[in-house]
Copies of this chain bind each other. A is one copy, B any other.
Amino acid sequence: MIDDWAAREQIVTAADRLFYGRGVQAVGMDAVRAQAGVSLKRIYALFPSKDDLVVAVLHHRSRRWDAGLAAATATVESPRDKLLAVFDFLADWFVEEDFRGCAFINSFGELGALSPQVAAAAREQKASFQGYVAALVRAAGAPESLAPQLAILAEGAQTTAAIAGTPDAARQARDAAATLIEAALAPARTPA
Q: Residues on A close to B: CB < 8 A?
A: 21-23, 25-26, 100-102, 104-114, 119, 122-123, 126-127, 145, 148-149, 151-160, 162-165, 168-169, 172-173, 175-176, 179-180, 182-183
A106 and B114: CB pair below 8 A? no
CB distance from A115 to the nearest CB of B (A): 10
A109 touches B111 (CB 8 A): no
Apart from A26-B114, A112-B163, 10 more pairs, CB < 8 Å: A21-B113, A105-B109, A106-B109, A112-B162, A123-B163, A149-B153, A156-B157, A156-B159, A159-B159, A176-B180
Chain B residues in 8 Å Cβ range of A23:
109-114
Given B22, B114, B122, B179, which contacts A183 in the complex, CB threshold below 8 Å? Answer: B179
Q: How many copies does the complex hold?
A: 2
Q: A105-B109, A110-B109 are in contact. Are A176 and B149 (CB under 8 A)?
A: yes
The one of B26, B100, B149, B176 that contacts A175, using a Cβ cutoff of 8 Å: B149
Q: Which residues does chain B contribute within 8 Å of A149, judged by CB atoms?
A: 153, 172-173, 175-176, 179
Q: Which of A104, A154, A180 has the most CB of B within 10 A?
A: A180
Q: In the complex, are the beta carbons of A110 and B106 less than 8 A apart?
A: yes
Complex CA gap A162/B25 in Å reads: 21
Shortest distance in angstroms between A79's beta carbon and chain B's nearest beta carbon?
19
Alpha-carbon separation in the docked complex, A168 to B144 (Å):
14
Q: Shortest Cβ distance from A178 into chain B, in angstroms? A: 10
Task: Report B-chain residues with C-beta under 8 Å of the C-beta of A183.
Answer: 179, 182-183
Complex: how many Å from CA A105 to CA B127?
Answer: 20
Q: How far is the CA of A164 from the CA of B122 in the complex (A)?
A: 9
Is B114 within 8 A of A22, CB to CB?
A: yes
